Structure 1
Amino acid sequence: MFSIVQQDHLTVKSELSLLNQVQQWFEQFCLKYLFQLGWSESQLYRLNLALAEGFTNAVRHAHRALPPETTIEIEVSLWIDRLEIKIWDYGKPFNPDAIAEPEPGTLQAGGYGWFLLRRLADRVVYERSADDRNCLLIVKYAQQGQV
């Protein structure tokens, strides 16, 4: 098994206005570590979009009925073969598999974010942790030929 190469952590209040701060923090992490390992700009763009989707979903849905002071924790872990983003929230858990996938060419109210996440990342897991928080795990594997 591979060991973690680099890791960082950010805790922010549950406010959409902090999305830019979250994305800038992630971009700094990418500039410091991922470009050196040969990750493409396209991969990093997709990861940043997935992070934005996960964060905004936590604010808009999981924390909708909670005060804005409720924190969201984000952890980025770089392994030799992958990058993992974990987003923890305090909302009520839900089953993303119960969301019907939108049919091409049709409209539906909500549910697009989960499918967007699954298309941006190689692996997406949403589960309740032992400390009564929800954890969204977003995993992107390094492309073949990268270290």
Structure 2
Amino acid sequence: MFSIVQQDHLTVKSELSLLNQVQEWFEQFCLQHLSQLGWSKTQLDRLNLALAEGFTNAVRHAHHALPPETTIEINIYLWIDRLEIRIWDHGKPFNPDAIAEPEPGTLQVGGYGWFLLRRLADRVVYERGADDRNCLLIVKYSQEAQK
């Protein structure tokens, strides 16, 4: 069984203006820990985009009716074979399986973020925790683990 190599945690208010802070924090973590482990810039860019999508979804959708002081917690766990990002929000839960995947060549309102997350990561899970928070789990395996 693999153990956690590194981890970090960030708590921010539910404000879109904090997206840059979230992404800079993530990029700093990547520079310190992932680059030397052979993670490619493309992998890191995809993870940064997935993080941005998850964070903005929490602000825009989960917290849309909540005060901006409502916090979003983000945890990063680096394992030998993968990176896990967990984004915790306080909104009402939803069922992502109920979102229809956009058909190529058609337009639909909503659902593109969930579709994008599934394309950027190897595993995406959204579930309600025992503490009445929602957790978006984004998992990306290292290139070495995929060989």
In the other structure, the counterpart of 2:38 is 38
- 1:81-120 equivalences in 2 (<5 Å): 81-120=81-120
Gaps of 5+ in 1: none
Task: Encode CA deviations 1:80-104: one digit per residue, 9 max, x unaligned.
Answer: 0000000000000000000001100
**Are the counterparts in 1 of residues 81 and 144 from structure 2 also a CA contact under 8 Å?**
no
In the other structure, the counterpart of 1:4 is 4
In structure 1, distance between residues paired with 2:25 and 2:92: 27
In the other structure, the counterpart of 1:21 is 21
In structure 1, distance between residues paired with 2:107 and 2:16: 25
What amino acid does structure 2 have at the position aligned with 1:6?
Q
Q: Post-superposition shift, 1:144? A: 2.8
Gaps of 5+ in 2: none
TM-score, normalised to structure 2, is 0.98
Task: Encode CA deviations 1:107-146: one digit per residue, 9 max, x unaligned.
Answer: 1011100010000000000000000000000000011379
**Are the counterparts in 1 of residues 82 and 145 from structure 2 also a CA contact under 8 Å?**
no
2:120 aligned with 1:141 = no
In structure 2, distance between residues paired with 1:145 and 1:63: 35
Task: Encode CA deviations 1:30-68: one digit per residue, 9 max, x unaligned.
Answer: 000000100000000000000000000000000000000
RMSD (Å) for aligned C-alpha atoms: 1.0
**Are the counterparts in 1 of residues 72 and 87 from structure 2 also a CA contact under 8 Å?**
yes
Give the aligned length: 146
In the other structure, the counterpart of 1:77 is 77
In the other structure, the counterpart of 1:124 is 124
